[in-house]
Amino acid sequence: MKPAKEIRVGNIIMVDGKPFIVLRSDVNGSSRTGFTYKWKMKNLLTNSPLENVFRGDDKFDVVVLDKKPVTYSYFADPLYVFMDAEYEQYEIEEENLGDALNYLKDGMECEAVFYDGKAISVELPTTIQRQIVYSEPAVKGNTSGNVLKEARIENAIESKQFIVQVPLFVSQDDMIEIDTRTNEYKKIVRN
């Protein structure tokens, strides 16, 4: 058991028998009894987000989950199928994929996360490259990056194509780099 004050973002903790990943932690000074920990968490079984607040001395079991490199293989409605190097297939429900769905692409490499022997989610690389499939024409001369427009990026399922905010100088068909933690545009990738 670890006290809340020792839990870090990215740790997976058990709360009332359910596994949660800590996505964000805001620590604030409070009464003389210590700090208040406000966490944004995600239930790994249901993918539902949650905001909770804890005392620094509240104790949690920290879970070390198994991970395995996999590639996205195909969509077998309503499950997404991933395959490892030994051609073992893992089916993951859509609601457990969360933001990973935005970037899903045939053959995409990621890590499947296992809880209790079952693949429950996938972890993406921190940055990922994707091609823009639609955006309004680029505007020359805009390089400041502080004015943004919408751009749709390629992914596995057209109906789920994800929209990223990009600078005005970015064009359709450009390859861009995105931070998957924040879904923010990072830069154009020039080959």
Partner 1 sequence: MKFFRRLDLFCRVVDNYGDIGICWRLARQLVREHGLEVTLYVDDLASFRRICPPVAPEVERQQLDGVTVRHWRNQDGVYTPDEVADIVIEFFAVDIPPGYIDAMAQCESRPVWFNLEGLTAEEWVEGCHRLSSMQPRGLTKHFFFPGFTEKTGGLLREAALEQQRLQFAPSPFLAQLGLSPAEMAAAKVSLFCYPHAPVSALFEAWQNGGRPIACLVPEGVAADAVRAFTGGEGGAGSVATRGALTVRVLPFVPQPDYDKLLWACDLNFVRGEDSFVRAQWAGKPFIWHIYPQDENLHHKKLRAFLERYAGALPGLADFSLRWNGAAAHGETENWPELWAGLEREAAAATERAAAWQQQMLGNGDLATNMLSFAATLR
Chain residues in the site for partner 1 (CB under 8 A): 15-16, 26, 28-34, 36, 38, 50-55, 58
Q: Which is nearer to partner 1, 50 or 101 (CB)?
A: 50
Nearest distance in Å: CB 45, partner 1: 14
Q: Which is nearer to partner 1, 28 or 143 (CB)?
A: 28
Q: Which is nearer to partner 1, 1 or 139 (CB)?
A: 1
Q: Which is nearer to partner 1, 32 or 140 (CB)?
A: 32
DSSP assignment of 13-74: EEETTEEEEEEEEEEEE-STT-EEEEEEEEETTT--EEEEEEETT-EEEEE--EEEEEEEEE
Q: Which distant-in-sequence residues (6+ apart) come within 8 Å of 101 by Cβ?
A: 80, 94, 155, 157, 160, 162
Nearest distance in Å: CB 53, partner 1: 4
Both tokens of 67, joined, read 């991970």
Nearest distance in Å: CB 41, partner 1: 9
